[in-house]
Amino acid sequence: MRQEGSCLLRRKVAVLVAVVNEDLSIVRNTLESAKALIGEKEIYLLDDGRKPATQALAAQLGVRYITRENNAFFKAGNLNNALRHHVAEDFVLVVDADFALHPDFIQRTLPLFHDPRIAAVQTPQVYSNEETIFAKGSKYFQNLFYTYLQPGKHLLNSAFCVGTNVIFRKKALAEVGGIAELEHSEDIFTTINLLEHGYRVSFLNEQLAVGLSPTSLISFYTQQYRWARGGLLMLLKHNTLFNRRLHPEQRLQFFLSNFYYLSGISVIIYLISPLLAILLNVKPLSDASFWQWLPTYALFFCTDFLFFLAFTRKHRLQSVMLGMFSFVPYMNAFSSEFLGWRKFKWKTTNSRSKGIITKLLFPYIIYLVFSVAIGYFLATGILSYNPGLILYYAWLAIDVIIVAIFLLHAYAETSKVAIPVLEQQDQFDMSTAELLAEKQQTENLVPPQPVPQPQPHIKRGSRLKGSIDIDDMPTLNIPVMSREAKN
CA 27 – CA 345 distance, rounded (Å): 24
Element containing residue 209 per DSSP (H, E): strand 209-211
Phi, psi angles (nearest 5°) of residue 15? -110, 115
Phi-psi region of 312 (alpha: psi -120 to 50; beta: other; left: phi over 0): beta
The three-state secondary structure class of 60 is helix
Q: Nearest 5 degrees, angle CA 441-CA 127-CA 50?
A: 95
Is 48 catalytic? The answer is: yes
Q: Nearest-CA neighbor of 348 among 454, 483, 223, 230?
A: 483
Cα distances (angstroms) measured from residue 110 to each of 8, 104, 174, 195, 437: 6, 10, 18, 20, 17
Catalytic residue among 23, 47, 48, 104: 48
CA 235 – CA 229 distance, rounded (Å): 10
First to last CA, the chain: 38
CA 102 – CA 207 distance, rounded (Å): 8
What stretches of 25-85 adopt beta strand conformation (E)?
41-47, 64-66
CA 139 – CA 43 distance, rounded (Å): 28
CA 387 – CA 271 distance, rounded (Å): 21
Catalytic residue among 47, 96, 104, 187: 187
8, 110 contact by CB (below 8 A): yes
Q: Which amino acid is at 22?
A: E
DSSP string, 168-204: EEHHHHHHTTSS---SS-HHHHHHHHHHHTT-EEEE-
Q: Which amino acid is at 239?
A: N
Is 187 catalytic? The answer is: yes
Residues with catalytic function: 48, 187
